[in-house]
Structure 1
Amino acid sequence: MTYQQTLDYLYSKLPMFTRVGAVALKKDLHNTLALCDKLDNPQHKFKSIHVGGTNGKGSTSHMLAAILQKAGYKTGLYTSPHLKDFRERIRINGKMVSKQYVKDFVKNQQETIQEIEPSFFEVTVAMAFDYFAKEKVDIAIIEVGLGGRLDSTNIITPELSVITNISLDHTNILGDTLLEIATEKAGIIKKNIPVVIGEKQAETEAVFITKAKLENASINFAGSSLHIENAHQKKAHLIVDVYKEEKLIYTNLALDLTGSYQLKNILTVIEAILKLKEIEYSIPDESIFTALKNVKKITGLQGRWQTLSQNPLVICDTGHNKAGIIEVMQNIKNTPHKNLHIVIGMVKDKDISGVLALFPTNASYYFCQPNLERALPVSELASQAATFGLKGNTFNTVQAAFQNAKSKAEEKDLIFVGGSTFVVAEIL
């Protein structure tokens, strides 16, 4: 098979959550364990950091990978979903896995895949673990796909577990209360392995403390011990001072991910780095400063409050649940502009009305649907949006909506593209 035929095989033969939703999910770790068993259990052959949470786990994973790479560690990074290229999911020192490796892995494992009938995600996790083991990485940052307890990535024993935050998302799978979702996410807390929780939330705090106690895992809430002062934007960077209790530990720390929500993620990252230093990882301050200033360049991260062009200003963001959209709206509010144009598409299994209620009525809307089975039909999206006073035109494709927005926008206007990771993927 060529590389393209290999991808077609993975996409068409294996149940894929991003395309079809919950029916693609396997409800236990059996398939991942069986696949990895055939690969001689690569998950035991490299050190790792496990990153879960509802929002911010992608940015947090990329920041940690950038810092460890700059500190001299050969660093693997596994994330999902990809935006443009399947190989974005599996990187070492920022470089994507080769097409040849993807081809060879699928060819060599085809018999096993047909025998086990795993999901697309289960195969990509096994592929990543096999690659990191073969390439002998010093450490790999492994981002949880969905949930935690039953996520395919949850067969590793990491050096550190990180949970960014908890908000309502994938409620049809993880539960429809913060408590239920936190319980699933807490499933990555392992025996005697320290855990860092990004945000301390009254509704979920006890879940994490109880689980950590049960596993004899030390627990730190980043938002309790660390805080930020003097946050401001300077050109293409977010500049912050980080304090631990009353002591200034990093001054003028510049981050090239400029969304206001990164203020929470940076505390999670710094707390995780302090914890890694405690367990004798050598991470000089210089590597932290250099890495955070260049996360996108070092790791290839895209779609996080990303500026695509100027005059008119075009920005995209992959935020797609209520908590994510609240942050996006704050960023829009903080961005000087004359008129606001919003290109929006969504997928069916989200809290559609909860998200739409957060959008402003004084914007021009360009409703569209991403090209996948889970996409919410554009007519349905426009109809639901109208009940919240959001008015605009409908387009059958993301590109048509985007081109129309660009033709209507004036120089000082802002075009925002989002509502779904898949809308952003098509724009990129």
Structure 2
Amino acid sequence: MSLPKPTAAATLQEWLAYLESLHRKPIELGLERVRAVAERLELRLPCVKITVGGTNGKGSTCAMLEAILQAAGYRVGMYTSPHLIDFNERIRVDGENADDAAIIAQFDRIENGRGEISLSYFEYTTLAALLLFEQREVDIAVLEVGLGGRLDAVNLIDADCSIVTSVDLDHTEWLGDTREKIGYEKAHIFRSGRPAICADPMPPQSLVDYARDIGADLWRFGKDFNYSGDRQQWAYGGRSRRRAGLAYPALRGANQLLNASAALAALEALEDRLVVPQQAVRLGLSQAVLPGRLQILPGRPTVVLDVAHNPHAASALAQNLGGMAYYPYTHAVVGMLKDKDIAGVLSKFLTRVDHWYFATIDGPRGATGEQLAEIMRGLLPPQGDDPVTVSSFANPVLAFAAARERATEGDRILVFGSFSTVGPVLQELGR
């Protein structure tokens, strides 16, 4: 049963609670409803539009595009999801989160125009972002695809360039249980006759075939664009453009050059419409910020935050942990959704973590700390003289407090598994 429509004095939180109550399903894929409402509202977005999909790396790629394009002097709108702490993080203009009043105005506009059509929370918020970008007359809209591609609300936009960062197993109950099925879903953000960037080094054949069948201009990593580097700098090479002498991105992680090269391939593919000087690339890469992605906080013990929640992302995180300095003990604070491949994620850290602190995530999709702990106990090998410890807690903040209590100054605390795990810890720390 839906809540009453918010009044003129309603807060953003009251509006968001109303949106959550409107639709019978939290996730319902399909473009019919959102497209019908967009037409009623006469949504037009005449700017350059870049959509970014993929299993992992979407947020980083969007952040780098935003920073580079802003450094080049463009007015950029960016839409991403989910958020870590505040909903406003999802909708950005000129590098700043949209304020409550601006978002509420778009919600009210949608509510007055949708009539009898029911929208999901994500469809509603996607329309709000697009309408705000139209109102603010942005030069470029960078749009992160929420789930899959073919039936995701963002796909109602005919992008001028689309990027698929990676294809791996996640959201299998909606997208399919193989890379081929998932690749087919993600490939549907590509458009006929327009640049389609694929940064996955080994893309599913279904993605390649779909791009060919619709006549998209497919740019493949390793074939149409690539990168090289040494300890000091790196270089991008595309079809006709090379950018050398680049400093490494401010965003940490082994895969960030892959994400950065995808962003630069998109800019090369759009260079007849966008002028992006070399200095803007350098400045943007150095200034791109994305909380919760291999984020290392200052101080001791070392605290590492990462929203990794599927085996592909977990493997990259484990690799990055292995490249860090020596720490006597690593403490891991973990909370996950129960529809994720929990065992597949946790197994990547069996040789990396000494003490586990599992946290319950609230909501119907959240796993309890004890459920996670039980899965970990089943994964652990027989214990020797210095056994791995496993404990569970009512929420991520309590789990993090216990980890900080036990950790010494020389240790490392890792917080990962979900936006709903990292967000509360960041908020607790006042970051």
What TM-score, normalized to structure 2? Answer: 0.90
- Is residue 2:93 matched to residue 1:99? no
Where in structure 2 are the equivalents of 1:5-404 lying within 5 Å?
5-14=11-20, 23-42=25-44, 44-112=45-113, 115-201=116-202, 204=204, 206-232=205-231, 239-243=233-237, 249-277=243-271, 279-296=272-289, 301-336=290-325, 337-361=327-351, 362-389=353-380, 391-404=389-402
Query: RMSD in angstroms over aligned alpha carbons?
Result: 2.3
2:150 is aligned with what amino acid? R
- Equivalent pairs: percent with the same residue? 32
- 1:14 Cα deviation (Å)? 2.6
Q: Any stretches of 5+ residues in structure 1 without a counterpart? A: none
- 1:244 Cα deviation (Å)? 5.1
CA distance in 2, matches of 1:227, 1:135: 35
CA distance in 1, matches of 2:311, 2:225: 25
- 1:68 Cα deviation (Å)? 1.1
- 1:113 Cα deviation (Å)? 5.1
CA distance in 1, matches of 2:243, 2:104: 46
1:259-313 C-alpha deviation (Å, 9 max, x unpaired)? 1121221221222222122x342110000000000011xxxx2111101232110
SS of residue paired to 1:214:
helix
CA distance in 1, matches of 2:19, 2:139: 33
- 1:213 Cα deviation (Å)? 1.9
- 1:199 Cα deviation (Å)? 1.5
SS of residue paired to 1:80:
coil
Q: Greater shift after overlay, 75-84 or 253-262?
A: 253-262
- 1:80 Cα deviation (Å)? 0.5
1:132-172 C-alpha deviation (Å, 9 max, x unpaired)? 11111111001101000000011111111111110000001
Q: Greater shift after overlay, 207-216 or 395-404?
A: 207-216
CA distance in 1, matches of 2:47, 2:254: 34
Identify the match of residue 406 of structure 1 among 401, 404, 407: 404
1:222 is aligned with what amino acid? F
Residue equivalent to 2:4: none
SS of residue paired to 1:242:
strand
CA distance in 2, matches of 1:405, 1:223: 42
CA distance in 1, matches of 2:285, 2:22: 33
CA distance in 2, matches of 1:149, 1:304: 26
- 1:95 Cα deviation (Å)? 1.2
CA distance in 2, matches of 1:123, 1:168: 27
The answer to whether the 8 A contact 1:222-1:271 is kept is: no
2:214 is aligned with what amino acid? E
Q: Any stretches of 5+ residues in structure 2 without a counterpart? A: 1-6, 381-387, 427-431
Change (3 A) 1:340 1:273: same
The answer to whether the 8 A contact 1:11-1:120 is kept is: no
- 1:15 Cα deviation (Å)? 5.7
- 1:112 Cα deviation (Å)? 4.1
- 1:240 Cα deviation (Å)? 2.9
CA distance in 2, matches of 1:231, 1:120: 45
1:92-122 C-alpha deviation (Å, 9 max, x unpaired)? 1111112111222223333445722211100
1:65-104 C-alpha deviation (Å, 9 max, x unpaired)? 1111111111110111011111111111111112111222
The answer to whether the 8 A contact 1:14-1:117 is kept is: no
CA distance in 1, matches of 2:259, 2:22: 28
CA distance in 2, matches of 1:73, 1:196: 22
- 1:249 Cα deviation (Å)? 3.0
Change (3 A) 1:16 1:218: farther
2:418 is aligned with what amino acid? S
What TM-score, normalized to structure 1? Answer: 0.90
2:305 is aligned with what amino acid? C
CA distance in 2, matches of 1:87, 1:129: 14
Change (3 A) 1:51 1:356: same
SS of residue paired to 2:356:
strand
1:205-251 C-alpha deviation (Å, 9 max, x unpaired)? x222221222221111123344444444x8xxxx5343459996322
